[in-house]
Structure 1
Amino acid sequence: SDEDAARRPPNEGEPITSTSEPAEDGSDQQPDAPPELRGATRFAMVCASNMNRSMEAHHVVRQAGLVCSSYGIGNHVKLPGPSQREPNVYDFGTPYAHIRADLRKKDAALYTRNGLLKMLDRNVKVKRVPERFQESFAQHDVIVCFEQRVFDICVETLNARENESMESVL
């Protein structure tokens, strides 16, 4: 189906560096925002890996009919592994479907039991890949951070950028 094709990476397993393109009308709204939401408040949800908290919030906010994006701030996407010293680590831009397939191959029973496969099933339905906040230049009206250190990194990132809108970060 067309929906499956949109989720499939050009080369399965290769990271995608960017998933956002400007809208055809030149606005900075999400390209998938319906016309009735153009000009609506733009939300961003941010956690460490763009896997759990930010994706659940993204899912809920989008279900409410609002324009939403989600991000992580870490250097990599980290998920629990078979032990605390053996996490599963992926690059941002690695498709959720690839991560899900990799975890199924590694130990489907473990990752079903700990809820990772169910979480990834949800993520695949929300968007294609985890994105890193520091690499996105999308404009947002409201940014929700799920930890103090995530907030600090978001503010630091925004303050380091050239201010194009002349709006305060806080």
Structure 2
Amino acid sequence: MHFNLYSTALITVACLLNACSIGDTISPSAKTPLHQVQISAQNDANAGSATAVDIVLIYDHHLTALLPNNSQAWFANKSALLTNLGHGIKVVSLQIPPSTASTAIALPQDVSRAIRIVSYANYLASNAETIGNLSASKCVHIVLQQNSVTYAACA
């Protein structure tokens, strides 16, 4: 019990020091309209390497401030975050190779309960902008490019 509280406190402090927080204040009753995610990768995506992509569904508005605002921090602290944030989040983990055609991603059945959905892409270039807010649209297409990720409403 003390370890869990201690770990949560450490994560909170770490997030404050690392400029965590993935978004603005969220109403506890707000729900995201997202129901579909598509992903594709260009031939030279992530300098020709497979890309780890995590789609994180957040069910507790208190947890948004504890999640990192960059992919490097997410992947470096993923195990601790998953352990300490418990049932307040769900993660869909993917490994996307270059030259992947647009593919629909299976989301959890309770996606409609999520109050926020973000994605983190683990790029080789540490300065790549690789976090995306997927919450605003019903369908989002993630495109992995050479040194960046784009997010757009599905066509």
Q: TM-score range by the shorter chain?
A: under 0.3
TM-score (norm 1): 0.23
TM-score (norm 2): 0.25
Greater C-alpha Rg: 1
Bigger fraction of residues in helix = 1
Bigger fraction of residues in strand = 2
Of the two structures, which has the highest relative contact order with CA contacts closer than 8 Å and spacing of 6 or more? 2
